[in-house]
Amino acid sequence: MRRILRHPLGWILLLALGVRFFGLTYHSLWFDEAVSTFWAAQPTDEIWRVGMALVQDKHPPLYYLLLHLWTRLVGGDDWGVRSLGVLIGALAVLPAYAIGRRLGGRRAGAFAALLLAVNPFLVWYSQEARMFMPATAFALIGLDGLGRLAHGEHGEHGERSKRCGVAARLSGLGPLLQLSLGFTAALYSYLYSAFLLPVAALWLLIAVSLRRHQPTARRDFVLSVLGLAIAAILFLPLAWSAWRVSGLESPPGQPFAGLLPVLASMLRIYTLGWPAWGAAWLTALTIGVGALALFGSIVPTPRRGGQRRGLYLVLWLAVVILIGGALMGRNARIFGESRYQIILAPALCLAVGRALAWLTAWRRPAGLIGSAALLAVTAAALAYDWTPQNRREAWREAAAYVAEHAGPNDAVLIQADYVRVAFMRYFRGPQGLFFPFTDRLSDVQQVDGPLAGLAEFDAVWVVQSHHQDLDPDNLVLGWFAARYPLITEVFPPGIAIHAYNQRYRLAALPPDALPGRDWPALGSLQPLACLYRPAALSPRDDLFHPPSAWIHVTSYWRLAGPPAGDLRPRFRVVDAMGQVWGESLARANDAFGLWPTTRWAADEIVRGDHDINMNPITPPGTYRLILEAPGATGQITCGPVEIRRERP
């Protein structure tokens, strides 16, 4: 450890580990991560079969196999599942440093490793239980192995080879294994890693031209070709499967169609992540970092005879973009999400590292100031990886909410059916789970039978995510909304939850509904009970319905006399002066909309559910929750509400 910490790279590695372990469980596992845990829990032969076929899952098997073994060692909770990616992602700084040093000197390698260590985009995907960052790390290892071979960097065997023929023959074995195993691991983790094989071939040709007069150049060239050939041959079965299934999940598009705006967005995300800054600031910073990367790709390498080794990075970026753009003709979503081409992000770190190294060598103060400014911006952007506006799909919070608020005789319906993997990972409630819809819905008759079969339950909680393409007309929600009043709705990131009351017309008050004392009638309506929660809260909510906190009210009513017209109650939170700080949301499909008071029977009790939307800037203090019925005189106080001071 002392030897490691004597080298700046040791501190950079510790920094990479620290920022990746920080807030590791802040986000819930989102759907794709839950899929990773599902496959990792399967037997190894099943993981291999599915991963090689690429039909049931579109990703190769290696990452799932590694996660399978890892979770057996450390456990399958969120921390354990994500820690594998953290470790592999942090170790990526080692090959990044080696590549950067080769292309621009030690200072360039250190800058590149440091930028990769704190890059918000790469930290984000290191903390995700998916194969994108592990595949990137494996690819960097393969590229470094190629560089060691192609440039004749064989470590301590270089001196021995001058004296010992055996050592000369064995000196390239380590880089050969690093090259072939690194690329093979990348290819068997993530298919788009294959875009780097042509990049590696071009790198090899450049290295050969630079070393054509050296005695070991031919041998190193042969070993490099052998390493790439091993990786390519081992990849052939996967490549064939990938070609057969490509286009099944995404329709073909036009090659290079709309690529420039996508690349501009990717440049911002790859360098800054997702900070909540103004558009002008983000544009200016993106242009600045992009200019640095361009500069770093064209400046000569210090102390290497003016060699312009930035050409390696130009080829890296250009070849990946050209291959991806051309393949858009077969799969329109090649650039559909920024993570798909994650391998471009380290190239940008390396290019910017070369630029900072050149500036430091040219004018040390300029280089140090520029480096400090860039790292400060990067650190500030990195902090947004753990903010509410950047939450992943909040399945942990959604499952906890349903378990806390659903009744014992309620049902939970999950749409689309396959997202049940994410919900069931966290759900601990006793309620029954249903997921009847697998195919695309186009007719209400497709939902009528399955949903009518849930009539025995008091309420149904509809949990939706990734369902838009399967139910474009919202037939499931429309079916419930036409028949049953809405209890509540919440919208944790990436998820929508709607609860519908199937037992809102009652013969008697339920046991938990304590009747109000001497409450006067509001026109022809007699309020019987008013239950609400929470009674103490912060006025702001950044999870379920940002930016406002909600208070949910359940009320019970009966007729006090013949109704002269339809009345709809309203709830408000008011201060001592009567100023309104929260009001119930008007919903057409609440109990009073679906079952108007003019249709009520004289002896029935009707349950109403209301959500009070608070003003997010409500000052701390004690308020009153009041009940009114517009069109009727009078006002009833349901009880006090305590508004707490927001946490900083």
User: What CATH number does the domain containing 511 carry?
Assistant: 2.60.40.770
Instruction: Please tell me the distance from the alpha carbon of residue 114 to that of residue 19, in angstroms, as a whole number.
Output: 12
Contact 102, 151 (CB under 8 A): yes
Give me the pLDDT at residue 631, please.
83
Instruction: Give the predicted TM-score (pTM) of the model.
Output: 0.92
Give me the pLDDT at residue 308, please.
72
Strand, helix or coil at 7? coil
Give me the pLDDT at residue 645, please.
83
Look at residue 477 and tell me if it is in a domain: yes
453 and 494 share one domain: yes
Give me the pLDDT at residue 157, please.
44
Q: Which two tokens stand for residue 311?
A: 């050409």
Phi, psi (deg, nearest 5) at residue 537: -160, 165
Give me the pLDDT at residue 582, please.
97
423 and 485 share one domain: yes
Strand, helix or coil at 174? helix
449 and 354 share one domain: no
Last residue of a domain, one of 349, 372, 390: 390
Instruction: Please tell me the distance from the alpha carbon of residue 578 to that of residue 258, in angstroms, as a whole number.
Output: 55
- The segments of the chain whose pLDDT lies below 70 read 1-5, 154-171, 247-249, 302-307, 515-517, 647-648
Strand, helix or coil at 434? strand
Look at residue 403 and tell me if it is in a domain: yes
470 and 570 share one domain: no
Instruction: Please tell me the distance from the alpha carbon of residue 179 to that of residue 203, in angstroms, as a whole number.
Output: 13
Give me the pLDDT at residue 161, please.
44
Look at residue 623 and tell me if it is in a domain: yes
Give me the pLDDT at residue 159, please.
45
Spatial CA neighbour of 358 closest among 315, 318, 309: 309
457 and 603 share one domain: no
Domain hosting 131: range is 2-390
228 and 302 share one domain: yes
**Bond before 134 cis per omega within 30 degrees:** no
Strand, helix or coil at 551? strand
What are the residues whose beta carbons fall under 8 Å from the beta carbon of 156, sequence distance 6 or more? none
Look at residue 648 and tell me if it is in a domain: no
Look at residue 369 and tell me if it is in a domain: yes
Look at residue 83 and tell me if it is in a domain: yes
Last residue of a domain, one of 390, 413, 445: 390
Phi, psi (deg, nearest 5) at residue 428: -125, 10
Give me the pLDDT at residue 247, please.
63
Contact 583, 623 (CB under 8 A): no
Look at residue 452 and tell me if it is in a domain: yes
Last residue of a domain, one of 337, 364, 390: 390
Indicate the Cα dihedral angle 397, 532, 491, 27, nearest 10°: -20
489 and 526 share one domain: no
Q: Which two tokens stand for residue 389?
A: 């506006």
464 and 530 share one domain: no
204 and 316 share one domain: yes
User: How many CB atoms are located within 10 Å of the residue 630 CB?
Assistant: 10
User: How many CB atoms are located within 10 Å of the residue 245 CB?
Assistant: 13
Positive or negative: CA dihedral 259, 261, 262, 263: positive
Give the number of domains in the chain.
3
445 and 516 share one domain: no
497 and 511 share one domain: no
471 and 520 share one domain: no
Look at residue 309 and tell me if it is in a domain: yes
